[in-house]
Structure 1
Amino acid sequence: MAEYLTVKGSSITLGGEPILLKGAALAGWMNMENFITGYAGHEFQVRAELRKRLGDEKYTFFFDKFLEYFFTEEDAKLFSSLGLNCIRIPINYRHFEDDLNPRVIKESGFKHLDRVIDLCAKHKIYTVIDLHAAPGGQNNDWHSDAGNHQANFWVHRDFQDRAVNLWEHIAKRYKDNTWVAGYNSLNEPTDEEHTRLLDFYARVEKAIRAIDPHHILFLDGNNFGADFSRFAERPLLPNVVYACHDYSSYGFPSFTGRFTRTAEQVANHEKQFSRKVEFMRSINAPIWNGEFGPVYQNAGDGKPDWEEINDSRLAALKHQLEMYSAVNVSWSIWLWKDVGFQGMVYVSDDTPYMRLLKPFIEKKKRLAADSWGNDDRQVRHLFEPIEEWLLHEVPGVSERYPKLQRPPKRPLARLVREILLSEELVHEYGSYFEGKTMDELDELARSFSLSNCIQRSTLNEFLMADAKRTA
């Protein structure tokens, strides 16, 4: 019988021997995100808009084909050929239950999840199932697909009950699958009180273990995977990996210089990472960095030095990989495939989807409508006076949680651009699909197949070289 991965001391082990999990997230797939696939706003909003534009039959056909083409055996083969051995799979609860029919699990939701887990197993790739969007929203960002600026998961018991129920069904389904590395029970939580998160972790651990005593639980830190300051107040949970997320500020447009490995830059990387993993080191636990990685510019972004910018961001990434390797960190880079912003592979501009949506994607960039890695230079003059006004009239806004999001700049952008503006842009996105035939919808979805994608070669070479290093 095949063996389960398990936690032993400071290592994830297989048959008692240490193993490092190195891979990527299958982001934008069973939890779609606007910057990954080109839409605006939140996934449930764009799905509702396309259902209205296309009708039920075409809507169902398009999204089923999208899920099919986005990850096939060809993706698994390429992933494995790079020496990577683990894929983190973000999922949205909406695939498995309807808000108007809560706690009734839909078998149809497992169709593609089963398929991809089996494909990965065939190519000796472990999978981590990640609840990226929980009922009510476990954080206030777009990727929890709640549609507002509040993390209501923490204030309604029913949302937590539904999440536990979903995990119980997932545990029943995969409890005998040893190629499932484990369950990432909640992505990037933001619990302002801190204790509600710890209560939920204790509860979901007990519920899963009653069904599946074998699989590892991957538990994200609070405040988007960065804060473990209260975790030591509770008893340690068995067979658990505590997971941080470690994005480098040098990999985003907000950093306007270059990463040149100065002593200050290196020290800053090490300081940020050390702070996030201090708890793991104090309890002699494995370290798994569940998300990291820069965003990239392209020739159409209006920056003549875009290639030099990308070289700088890749240099920062390479330093991070070296830093992780020195202390045997498992990692999952964000992300495998997208429309050209952050993926290891990305959809070619010469595909039906990209040709159709090019004007819309360019407009989103100009308006800084998406949160992740946006360049807000063209709209900053509109927002800075309001930020100053807020700080003057209600200075307490600077202490707004989560502080990681730099209040008041981020909360203001969230409410005005990423919610209000983007809700209206959803209708514009939907208009591009008006009147499409089944064949045209198939071609649009097929744009995401690996045969229509381009590898980000330097990035993949860095990852492949690091993957050769073993525990």
Structure 2
Amino acid sequence: MGIFKSLKKSFSTEPTSNAHAYPTSNHTIPPRILSPADVYRFRKQRGVNLGSWFVLEKWITWSPYREAVEPAQSDHDVARGGNAKEIMEQHYETWITEADFEWLSSIGINTVRIPVGYYHFSKYLGQGYLDGTDFQGLGHVYENTISYIERAVDWAEKWNIGVHFDLHSAPGKQNHDDHSGRSGPEIKMWEERNIAVLKHALRFLIAHFSPRDNVVGVELVNEPANNDALLSLYLDILSEARTLTHPHFPLALGDAWDTEYYSGVVGSRKDFVMLDHHLYRCFTEEQTSASAFDHTGRCQAEYLEFLGEAQRKARGSLIVGEWSGGLNPGSTAGHDHHDMIAMWIGAQLALYERTTAGWFFWTLRKEHGGDTGWDFKEAVNTHAFPQWAGGRRGLPEEGRASLEERDELGQHAVHTHAQYWASQGLPVAEHWRFEDGFRIGWDDAVMFAYHRPPSHHVVGRSEIGFVGKWIEARMDEHSAFRGLSGNMWEFETGWRQGYDGAMAALGE
């Protein structure tokens, strides 16, 4: 009998709520049962940013700026202009629709990253929470915004798409760019009132959306300018967040362009924290002078080494939350621009599939087409981006990776493992831990691959992306019921072999 049949009942009876699906104590929580939230949050994330939907960026869409006050470059300028509420709500209705989610799902995209601003929550937090910030007195403009954001989560869930929220605009601005909510380069986030509002907004965002199965994470601050106080702020917010949600709800840290340091911070965490790195190669003088061939080649050398080391230090909890096919004209000079963009996109995809747990193209669309480097729809429609982005398609044939095959291969793997370590003179062996790990790793691969969400909409097959965090959770459960020892590595080794064996048995 195929393992799918033996597990089918657990899929059909598992509640959609994930409130009790995660271990909080190694001594009281029974072994994990796969839930919809597990699949959304731990699977490999192949995604797109929904840029300039809730946090505007004029270079992407300029229509909402038609009555903005000068310099007309940010949300703050639009909010202070004429008919701001009506303009914004018309934009929410038309910029991205449910049809976009359906289309994304059809080509294998399983996650979207949605930038939001701290000023979007006045419906629930009231007007006063913006007092003392740049948006004081402007809460009425955004009193319905959260309803549109909630609808986006509903649409995503219908089409089996996860949602990664990104606080793109922090109080007072966290970086010099206008996409941080206010025009001008001055950074005022570190003022006492702004920090208080930032924490308040994040508490709301996490508490409000973490119960949703398809919300796969909240990013604390997008692209913060780095300074000596940033780590302390991150730790404070993480500590507060864990009073609101379980330790396996994913939270993301922007690396502040100090990837080596913050990958170590993430790797030292026991709870589910991931690192977000953004990779663009079209802004600095060195990048704009390098050719598309040079950048593409670096995906197999310099960039591979860089992201591979970050992945190792973060113990696999690494995403590239923003990237694009954008190249400076100087990088494509003398060659077909479209071909160079397609080459650059393909090289990056291969790199991110190899080194990260998830990636998110910036951005879904621009107001006027023609830009294959930055407009995802344009890139797909012109074949600069592959027509399928989702790994393996659909559910495997029933009966693949059966229990009988698991047990047969598992016995062989245990025998080989035991023989090798006997030859190495391992002083204390607990090969039953390897056997437990092999069986669980195999079953995990099969459960993810055969999983159907409550909507039963499946286009791309699920596979574990955040392997390190998933194994940690499995090892917690194993040690709770089998005890701790110095040989826990045997469980992990067995799990990885079992998972790889099942993935091979599942086939294309």
TM-score range, shorter chain: 0.5 to 0.7
Distance 1:32 1:164 in 2: 22
2:382 equivalent in structure 1? 457
Among 74, 90, 102, the alignment partner of 1:43 is 74
| SS of the residue 2:204 aligns to | helix
CA RMSD of aligned residues (A): 3.8
Q: Deviations over 1:134-174 (max 9, x none)?
A: 00111111211232223221x31221111110111122222
Structure 2 CA distance for partners of 1:304 and 1:161, relative to 1, 3 Å: closer
Shift of 1:272: 3.2
8 Å CA contact 1:129–1:182 kept in 2: the answer is yes
2:141 paired with 1:216: no
2:344 paired with 1:344: no
| SS of the residue 1:229 aligns to | helix
Among 34, 37, 56, the alignment partner of 2:58 is 34
Among 112, 117, 126, the alignment partner of 2:148 is 112
Q: Which entry has the higher C-alpha Rg, 1 or 2?
A: 2
Amino acid at match of 1:218: A
Amino acid at match of 2:383: T
Structure 2 CA distance for partners of 1:78 and 1:181, relative to 1, 3 Å: same
Among 103, 120, 132, the alignment partner of 1:95 is 120
Structure 2 CA distance for partners of 1:233 and 1:166, relative to 1, 3 Å: closer
1:293 equivalent in structure 2? 324
TM-score (norm. length: structure 2): 0.59
Amino acid at match of 1:37: T
**Pairing 1:64-213 to 2, within 5 Å after superposition:** 64-97=89-122, 99-100=130-131, 108-153=144-189, 155-193=190-228, 196-213=229-246
Shift of 1:123: 0.7
2:441 equivalent in structure 1? none
Shift of 1:35: 0.9
8 Å CA contact 2:380–2:386 kept in 1: the answer is no
8 Å CA contact 1:88–1:127 kept in 2: the answer is yes
Distance 2:301 2:17 in 1: 35
Unaligned runs of 5+ in 2: 1-14, 24-31, 66-70, 394-460, 465-508
Distance 1:267 1:455 in 2: 24
Distance 2:341 2:385 in 1: 14
Structure 2 CA distance for partners of 1:133 and 1:273, relative to 1, 3 Å: farther
Structure 2 CA distance for partners of 1:6 and 1:127, relative to 1, 3 Å: farther
Structure ranking higher on relative contact order (CA contacts 8 Å, 6+ apart): 1
2:325 paired with 1:284: no
Structure 2 CA distance for partners of 1:151 and 1:191, relative to 1, 3 Å: farther
Distance 1:343 1:251 in 2: 21
Amino acid at match of 2:16: A
Distance 1:282 1:267 in 2: 21
**Pairing 1:404-443 to 2, within 5 Å after superposition:** none
Q: Deviations over 1:387-415 (max 9, x none)?
A: xxxxxxxxxxxxxxxxxxxxxxxxxxxxx
1:255 equivalent in structure 2? 288
TM-score (norm. length: structure 1): 0.64
8 Å CA contact 1:130–1:183 kept in 2: the answer is yes
Q: Deviations over 1:9-33 (max 9, x none)?
A: xxxx936996201110001111110
Structure 2 CA distance for partners of 1:183 and 1:229, relative to 1, 3 Å: same
Among 302, 306, 320, the alignment partner of 1:271 is 302
Structure 2 CA distance for partners of 1:233 and 1:243, relative to 1, 3 Å: closer
Shift of 1:113: 0.3
Distance 2:200 2:188 in 1: 18
